[in-house]
Structure 1
Amino acid sequence: MIKEIKIQLRDDKREIPQDISKVKFGKTFSDHMFLMDYNSKDGWHDARIVPHGPIPIDPGAMVFHYAQEIFEGMKAYRRPDGGVQFFRPYENIKRMARSGERVSMPAMDEDMFMEALRKLVEVDKDWVPSAAGSSLYIRPFMFATDVGLGVHASDSYLFCILTCPVASYYPEGINPIKIMIEDEDVRAVRGGTGFAKCGGNYAASIRASKRASEKGFSQVLWLDGVERKYIEEVGAMNIMFKIDGKIITPALNGSVLPGITRMSSMELLRSWGYEVEERLISVDELMEAAKNGKLEEAWGTGTAAVVSPVGRLTYKGEDFTVQDGGIGPVTQKLYDGLTGIQSGKVEDTFHWMEKLEK
């Protein structure tokens, strides 16, 4: 447990948005942030909640030069009874520890992490919106702070948590997206950092995403970095397909992010009786299924959108429409099921939700 969390409250509290639908994702931050330092001598120390604002940092800090940085994305929700709850927070905490291990960064004790999270959201709980589909997005992150130009692990780090209120990803109902399968750039390779949530993975995806956006596509669907033939994930989501009655999602092979929403989707689908396969799926198999009508539905899963239906796939200039460009019944059921549990409107038989109030 944390010995002490010092709290410095803002003197000039910001105005909480009354119409959450007008708030752009990740642009409006809550009043406060959590900070905690680490070094090999003192371990984790100086836990504090301070007004949200700039962090002083030396330009020689190793994070700028060698990219020792990791982060997470999670959410807190307002329940119908007015309370607040988190969606599977310990899974995010465990994943952040795995990401840190891959890039030689220290893990934080799970209960210590959760204590910091609870305290920050408790301080800013008025920022948790109550509108349908809205939530408080939570961004824990950590970066190297040692000053020096030399390629090795830093000895000191700063752990931070930011929060921001966000509206429903689909204020007018979920809309199918258009995806381009990328056949030039690769995002990650086995043995690399693909399974970790670190900034370098996202930097590597930006060029292809920009090209796709210029052609009118919402996202890029990545192929594996070795053979360039197996489906991996979408730029900001994991991917699932319903092919000839079965749900298929790419196996976690070390270059695919182990999504919390992906895991939860599979558990929910299996509880409903669907056959779910985690395996290699080639782009040729996917295109063949699209051509012969066996590709019944496709959707992405992730923290931001929860479930995002795919209405169109493009590969090497060839277009395929999925579910007539609409939303399939399994996609809709999955979205309703997950968001219902998260919001507290559907019974949480899986015990996924963690209440803010102990």
Structure 2
Amino acid sequence: MVQLSGITPSGHAQLGNYLGALRRWAADGGPDDLYFVSDLHAMTTAHNPARLRSLATEQLAVLVAAGVAPERLFVQSDLVRELGALTWVLECTCAYGEAARMIQFKEKSAARSTSVEGGGQAGVRLSLLTYPVLMAADILAVGADEVPVGEDQRQHVELARTLARRFNSTYGEVFVVPEATLPPAGARVRDLAEPTRKMSKSAENSAGVVFVLDEPDQIRRKVRRARTDGDSAPVYDPENRPGVSNLLDILAACAGGDPAQLADKYPSYGVLKDAVADAVIEELRPVRDGTLALLDDVGELERIRKAGAERATERSAHRVSAALRMVGAA
């Protein structure tokens, strides 16, 4: 059974990424599972090439430092030839209406079309429409059986299933038909400044975002400035007290314990915030130190990346070659 998961370097890795996914990948990943830095996915909007390259390298280092086995890792763009060819084959298998009805495309294209001068679709990149087909290529190329995704990505995995079945029935059996699975419940990590929204590496305002590479003093300042809810003592009530509940969730994820019971241990917000800051700093310390060491050791990081590219290519090349042969392109 092969699982495939990816993380997009749209910004610096943050606490929610680590507690919600990376730590779990390191602890629970099977010997055949694959994890990748999806740098091609970050190109659907305007981006700085040098920054994207730097973030992809940094993200790879974070994954290794977080404990994800290097032999399960690769960077998506290192398979650009295989993925480019397979994406075209799948685009020739996919109907326009199937891509255009993806909820994320509708929402994001609507938002971006109103943000450009004059409105309309002029500022919406074609890649936003075809991105789910590239995602299907990611999945089908490596023969993934399961793809753990949230509800916002489930529809994309369904498209991959549809395209795999259609290709197999039209041209011949090449692809595993993948299943979308819900990942195990991870820590609820909300923005410290705006606890009604998830912590995000691409947030415009980073005041409430704890990044994996933040210095301990930065982490402490951000936690101390975290929004609470005005009452006299900490209480775990995510619906009515999202700020303090977020702090308790983070503390429980880092130090263990039940967040509702942890609330009783801290008589004031100040004491709770100090405990949260201490727990987060210690949780992230080995990841931060390991990441910085890898970023300083360019040769080792390049070796890991090259080996990952070779293994991922071996896993995908025969399927891509078979698909091209089946459609008459090879």
TM-score by length of 1: 0.24
Larger relative contact order (CA 8 Å, sep ≥ 6): 2
Kindly indicate which of the two structures has a greater share of residues assigned to strand: 1
Kindly indicate which of the two structures has a greater share of residues assigned to helix: 2
TM-score by length of 2: 0.25
